[in-house]
Amino acid sequence: MLHVVVVTPIERTLEAFERAKQSEPDYPDAAVLATVGEDGRPSARIVLVRGADERGFTFYTNYRSRKGSELDDQRFAALCFYWKTLREQIRVEGTVSRVSAAESDAYFAARPRESQIGAHASSQSEHLANRGELERRVEELTAQFAGAPVPRPSHWGGYRLTPDRLEFWSEGAFRLHDRIVYDLEPSNGSWREQRLFP
Ligand SMILES: Cc1cc2nc3c(=O)[nH]c(=O)nc-3n(C[C@H](O)[C@H](O)[C@H](O)COP(=O)(O)O)c2cc1C
């Protein structure tokens, strides 16, 4: 049976995040990000989800990376959180867009200086001949930016996944898990809730 929900699935996600922060030993904000290439081939990797609110889920990366070009080319992506300590999974699907330059600037400015330099040094997803080349770049950039703030590279910033479907899975005895799915009703922005067989 379908019905309209009062607590939004985003609120439900935030509540789960809070519980995960209390119990996970590290990276409670880590999620698998799935993207798809123009040939239809999917790929997945972990990212840290740094913001979640009614607008969606925000993560930061190199816009020129494999995921960056796939996110720019294809509108759709998915995130999957799994918290072992909670025995809960949240699956998120939706459309992706870059966050504003101002939002990326603010996040970048709050990162440790070493991470800021790392963002300049790493041509993420491109061929690297050896580790020494990366370390040399870090040394050169550290000298180049000495005594000055490190600016955000224009090819580094955030994406926001705006969900239209979320699924909350929690482990049940003998594989009789709970699965509750929320689908966005585009005509009025409400969420429809349904239970799925595990
Ligand atoms: C715990 C963890 C957190 C990570 N967080 C990020 C992140 O927030 N942003 C990012 O670009 N890569 C992050 N990575 C690295 C990615 O998983 C991936 O290796 C990298 O972004 C390159 O992916 P791509 O070649 O598909 O673009 C993280 C990896 C791990 C294991």
| 190 Cα–ligand 1 center, Å | 33
The whole-model pTM stands at 0.95
pLDDT of residue 1: 57
Beta-sheet pairing, 178-185 with 30-36: unpaired
pLDDT tens for 26-69 read: 999 999 999 999 999 999 999 999 999 999 999 999 999 999 99
Residue 50 CA: nearest ligand 1 atom is 8
Backbone φ and ψ for 10, nearest 5 degrees, come out as -65, -45
Position 134 pLDDT exceeds 80:
yes
Distance CA 21, CA 27 (A): 8
Q: Which residues sit with their C-beta closer than 6 Å to ligand 1?
A: 27, 30, 43, 45-48, 59-61, 65-67, 124-125
Distance CA 86, CA 96 (A): 28
Number of independent structural domains in the chain: 1
pLDDT tens for 1-26 read: 566 566 899 999 999 999 999 999 99
Structural domain contains residue 122: no
Domain that holds residue 90: 3-109+154-195
Structural domain contains residue 57: yes
Position 107 pLDDT exceeds 70:
yes
Distance CA 46, CA 79 (A): 9
Distance CA 164, CA 79 (A): 12
